[in-house]
Structure 1
Amino acid sequence: MLSEGRGVARRCAVWGSPIGHSLSPALHRAAYAALALHDWSYERREVDASGFADAFAGLDGTWVGLSLTMPLKEVALGAATTVTPVAAATGAANTLVRGTDDPSAWTAHNTDVHGLTTALRLAGCTDPTSLLVVGSGATARSAIATLAPGGRVVLMVRDRVRPETFGQAEAAGLVVETVGLGEWAAAAEVDAVVSTVPPASVPDLDGLPVVTHRDQRPVVLDVVYGSGRTPLQRAARERGWSVAEGTDMLLHQATEQVRLMTGHEAPLSAMSAALRAALLDRRAER
């Protein structure tokens, strides 16, 4: 991490495909402004999996960090010199940070786990012991990583669970169950439901259990953001669940990225205000 930004250009960016929807630039630029890192910049670039290696090889010494979104969270691991335990366990990196002692070295991080943990906590789900996760890709593995050994995860998928996701859950010492899409009876006893798939892919929401006789309301977290309430969020509200916001996950994974890339604690209030403004602008454009 490089902690100073005076006189020397420092460049960061978010890469992925598609990338036009990303709100990461608003969050990171707000952080740089609040931290008076006037020589830092943050860009957005369309990069797919096949183009990642060439794009990464083309980075010059001004580049400090990258945020990675789909479909780059898995391919980015191969570019790293060092992989943190969380990134290794999930097989996914949403952050690459250049080393200070060795500028040729890059470290792969997964800050999605921090974002998910914080979003669930803010909605009242602290230290969950059981989850139902819709999907089994990279973000699903980040959700699984919020559970401590001995916890229980139910994976709701259309066909079959990705082997690497099943393997991660077993290696973490979790009890693993699988159900088909729309088999919502499995959600009756979990602490939280985390959906990692497009909202239109989540069927049969009439079957989501009604919350009764629970000491603490379970939580639904739909990781998508920016398009208003999703059908899953609306169904959860109607049935007595607490709803965690995908924007909270986005915000808090970004605060951790800012800390890793700049060496400064992230200015949460400034980043939160920038996120609210960006969401309002997006809604006004529709």
Structure 2
Amino acid sequence: MQLLGLFGHPVDHSLSPVMHKAAIKALGLNEEFIYLAFDISPSSLSEAASALRVLDFRGVNITIPLKEKIIPFLDRLDGPARLMGAVNVIVNERGCLTGFNTDGRGFLRSLEENTEMKPEKLKVLIFGAGGAARAVAMALGLAGVKEIVIINRNPDRAVRVAGMLNELGITVKAYGNVPKDIKKEIKTADLIVNTTSVGMVSNPGSLIEGYVSFLNRKQVVCDIIYQPLETLFIKKARANGCHVVSGLDMLLYQGAEAFHLWTGQEAPVDIMREALEENLKENKI
């Protein structure tokens, strides 16, 4: 039996075990794989990486605050992980640890599965400039979008993400706070994405409280938050006629990408989604 797992600090509230255990069971892989969660502090990463080799783990998910800190202990990085400087999946091949970042691919697949939108030549507006924003922005940049606008309260982080994207040859604007011409930026965007924590159960609110009237029916609005399943941002966008995509989809599809990397099998996404939704329902989120 091969070990799969989750490394993070803390890991109690992660939904990764929920969907991966459901996938393993659905495909009858209980005799081949077991998925466990491990609370790993940053100071213990060297020992944790050694354990992956010694105990012959097949792989693990990596969550906060370890996505960047784990990199020095790996042997290789795939292209997206190298570009973003962050890892969310590790695969162990005979002691060689390769770091992947499936967040961006997960986001793109959530668009593909829920909309008819093609990234090429789109204008995208992203709220936030953290790790999730980097993943989303880089994936969209590599997919050929025309322009990306980044709005973040920390101007340095916004500029840093913009710098990464400039290398892809696309038009990038970075704002440290809400720009004066926010109305124009929102109205002319094809895709609007919230990658901040605004709207979470612990941080309720809406990013676009005063800008809802600027939205139009041709736009797609995404929120990477999945607790709650429908944020105020999503509710208001839907009420204004926008096509919306919830954060559960990005979570699901980045997990499906990881499952395929570990097992070589297509992930049973319907089963995984059902498990996620049931868990959130049971916890009344």
Category of TM-score, reference length = shorter chain? 0.7 to 0.9
Question: Comparing 144-153 with 67-76, which one deviates more in the overlay?
Answer: 144-153
**Residue 140 of structure 1: which of 129, 133, 142 is its match?**
133
In structure 2, the partner of 1:130 is: 123
Relative to structure 1, the CA distance from residue 209 to residue 117 in structure 2 (aligned partners, 3 Å threshold; closer, same or farther) is farther
- TM-fit CA distance, 1:149: 4.2
In structure 2, the partner of 1:4 is: none
In structure 2, the partner of 1:110 is: 101
Q: Which residue identity is paired with 2:20? A: H
Give the unaligned 5+ runs of structure 2. Answer: none
Relative to structure 1, the CA distance from residue 150 to residue 34 in structure 2 (aligned partners, 3 Å threshold; closer, same or farther) is closer
In structure 2, the partner of 1:196 is: 195
**Residue 13 of structure 2: which of 18, 21, 27 is its match?**
21
Q: Which residue identity is paired with 1:65? A: G
Question: Comparing 25-34 with 69-78, which one deviates more in the overlay?
Answer: 69-78
Spell out, residue by residue over 1:6-63, the C-alpha distance to the aligned partner (whole angstroms, 9 max, x if none).
Answer: xxx2111112223221111111111111222123111122224333233222333331
Q: Separation in 2 of the partners of 1:45 and 1:139?
A: 22
Question: Comparing 197-206 with 143-152, which one deviates more in the overlay?
Answer: 197-206
Q: Separation in 2 of the partners of 1:181 and 1:127?
A: 29
Whether the 8 Å contact between 1:182 and 1:205 is mirrored in structure 2 is: no
**Residue 49 of structure 1: which of 8, 31, 42 is its match?**
42
**Residue 207 of structure 1: which of 185, 199, 211 is its match?**
211
**Residue 148 of structure 2: which of 133, 148, 153 is its match?**
153
Identity over the aligned pairs, expressed in percent? 29
CA RMSD of aligned residues (A): 2.1
Tell me, what secondary structure is at the counterpart of 2:98?
strand
Tell me, what secondary structure is at the counterpart of 1:98?
strand
Relative to structure 1, the CA distance from residue 221 to residue 151 in structure 2 (aligned partners, 3 Å threshold; closer, same or farther) is same
Matched, 1:168 2:172: no
Tell me, what secondary structure is at the counterpart of 1:255?
helix
- TM-fit CA distance, 1:251: 0.8
Whether the 8 Å contact between 2:102 and 2:254 is mirrored in structure 1 is: yes
Whether the 8 Å contact between 1:15 and 1:44 is mirrored in structure 2 is: yes
Aligned positions, number = 270
**Residue 37 of structure 1: which of 24, 29, 32 is its match?**
29
Question: Comparing 88-97 with 57-66, which one deviates more in the overlay?
Answer: 57-66
- TM-fit CA distance, 1:232: 1.4
Q: Separation in 2 of the partners of 1:181 and 1:196?
A: 15
In structure 2, the partner of 1:224 is: 225
Relative to structure 1, the CA distance from residue 150 to residue 218 in structure 2 (aligned partners, 3 Å threshold; closer, same or farther) is closer
Q: Separation in 2 of the partners of 1:84 and 1:67?
A: 15
Relative to structure 1, the CA distance from residue 233 to residue 35 in structure 2 (aligned partners, 3 Å threshold; closer, same or farther) is same
Q: Which residue identity is paired with 2:16? A: S
Whether the 8 Å contact between 1:94 and 1:109 is mirrored in structure 2 is: yes
- TM-fit CA distance, 1:182: 4.2
- TM-fit CA distance, 1:239: 2.4
Q: Which residue identity is paired with 2:232? A: P
Q: Separation in 2 of the partners of 1:181 and 1:205?
A: 15
Whether the 8 Å contact between 1:152 and 1:174 is mirrored in structure 2 is: yes
Relative to structure 1, the CA distance from residue 173 to residue 149 in structure 2 (aligned partners, 3 Å threshold; closer, same or farther) is farther
Q: Separation in 2 of the partners of 1:12 and 1:247?
A: 22
Give the unaligned 5+ runs of structure 1. Answer: 1-8
In structure 1, the partner of 2:110 is: 119
In structure 1, the partner of 2:263 is: 262
In structure 2, the partner of 1:70 is: 64
Q: TM-score, normalised by structure 1?
A: 0.86
